[in-house]
A and B are shown apart, each in its own frame.
Chain A
Amino acid sequence: MTGPKPNGRAGAPTPSRLRPRDVLRVAASGLRARPLRAVLSALGIAVGIAAMVAVVGISASSREEVTEQLEALGTNLLTVAPGQTLGGQQATLPEGSVDMVARVGPVTSVSAVGEVDASVYRSAEIEETHTNGLTVLATRTDLLDTVGGTVSSGRWLDDALAGYPTVVLGANAAERLGVSRTDGTVSVWLGDEWFTVVGTLDPVPLAPELDSAVLIGWPAAMEVLGFDGAPTTIYERSPESAVAAVRDVLPATVNPSSPEEVTVSRPSDALAAQAATDETLTTLLLALGGVALLVGGIGVANTMVIAVLERRSEIGLRRALGATRAHVRRQFLGESVLLAGLGGVGGAVLGGGLTAAFASTRGWPLALPAWVLAAAAGATIVVGALAGAYPAARAARMSPTTALSAP
């Protein structure tokens, strides 16, 4: 009596099948049945994803800002300064070194400042020790073009003014001396002379040492303050493609007899490095976002465990309707991934919004790399699958008869 009967319907039945689209429908209907619970558990995921997207987005926007700034300033500026002699003494640059740099083929502009051994005060009555940390620099009149500085108020030194006791203040220097008028009515006490303030500068990103300096003309420095005419910093620009080559020849050009006493640096590198140091903080914040995501995932797992317990009779019914264990597992796994995905989409939108809001308050460009969104999507799928794995396996293992006899 064993074996299939010769009856028409007795062949092996077609296997049970749940279409992928139906997995999605069934999973979605499970979430729709308890919308508040779904939203609350998705919120946990959303917070984690939003934190991670915002952290990456904000740091990317900040880097973008630095990049744009560097593009505007140019990265082809090199500065030449004296290093130390072999004996450990402070070296000096030879007097004619500026002209020698100017003769290097690709160099397009060159300028220099020389530190003057003098201090500057708001008035003659101020104690000598209260220097405000300001330096006095003898300045060539072509300095501003070379470093890309701009005048904030008043005027820059020209060939005429450079011979007279006139001064242009760096941005910080003007603030520390409390000078805002540049109409020639304000003077500062410099060395043993009154110097008339003719202008102030905006901050110079590529030469921040100028911000806390007072700048006087080269001839005036020599005549009035006894400046020896030796430059202490040479600023030089050349086409971007020639920067490396120029950098190599500069020490020997500036000081042929002892090139090792010359240091050459590229100020834009410092700005770029500053942006890079932010990455440590970004990584830390990203890790914090990851912790939030983990907690969100635990919330989803909790929701799913409860759902499986509550819906035993539904599981029993589905088994009676022909669902295999795999179909039941897929249903709950799908529900969990969908739940996490819901949170992921919400979090990505929230994180993107936060990034946009933060960037716009800082006046930064908005930069949200596509890989961040892809990673967020991937993370939610992984979290949803991990959170749903155990509850789904439990639902699949449940025997149909105990599931059906559940109250």
Chain B
Amino acid sequence: MVAEVGYGRERVRHVEQGTATQGGRLSEVRWVAWRSLKKLTRNPILLFFSLFMPLIWLVLFSQTFGNVFSGAARAQLPYDYVAVLLPGIAVMTAIQSAAQSGFGMVADIETGFMDKFFVAPIRRSSVLIGKLVADGLRMAGQAGIILLIAYAMTLLAGWRIPFATGLPGALVIMALAAAFGVAFSGLSNAVALKTKNTEATMMVSFTLTFPLLFMSTAMLPKPSLPQWVRDFSVINPVSYVADAARALVLTGWEWSAIGSAFAACIVFGALLNGWAVLAFRAQGK
């Protein structure tokens, strides 16, 4: 199927014949992810504000609700409310980034860049997976920065956060944030692909973000929640992730909690990303 030699044709014959499998699928995913991460570095302000909000929350919430543990309770506990809140904030950062995941999708569709992916000889799923890989790395990084700042505050401002599992625990929290964020990205991407509209994507994602956060154990431990919220929190994946992360900060390695958290991310992520994949496949049909 190779034409008579035209200029440069000979050099790319392997492209036409499909024998140039420079790493195949992995390479496709890698380059799609590379692009997303590169774009991120071009938007330092966006990156800053995506961290700024959770940090404000961390400070405000820990100050405002700090006296949830008042008087005697406060004196007995070896940690501050901020230590209870910290894992929730890490999850919240991931949710926020996940909610924005679809924006890029809408932008790519609007500018026609998506056609560049679709007309290239790569698998469509590589486009979605590459984007999720970049999202996951970003979310893990954000969670890491939140933890780092909180750790700095223990040294500088005397916040009492035990960090029971140390650095390995912090890495697991980062992984949890990434897993949960990637799972939740499916929703944002699916809505983005269905509506092709940034506002709609923002509305749906943000409308769901807050109920999910507050109807979970992310902000307060289970015993402090009203009964109906406690009931809902059982089917809310945010709770599983928050509980596991909280245990890692406050008490130590609770493997069953960690296992449940990752399992929740997998179930939740399979559902939402499955929906996104269907929406993605339907493009151009």
Say if A and B assemble together.
no
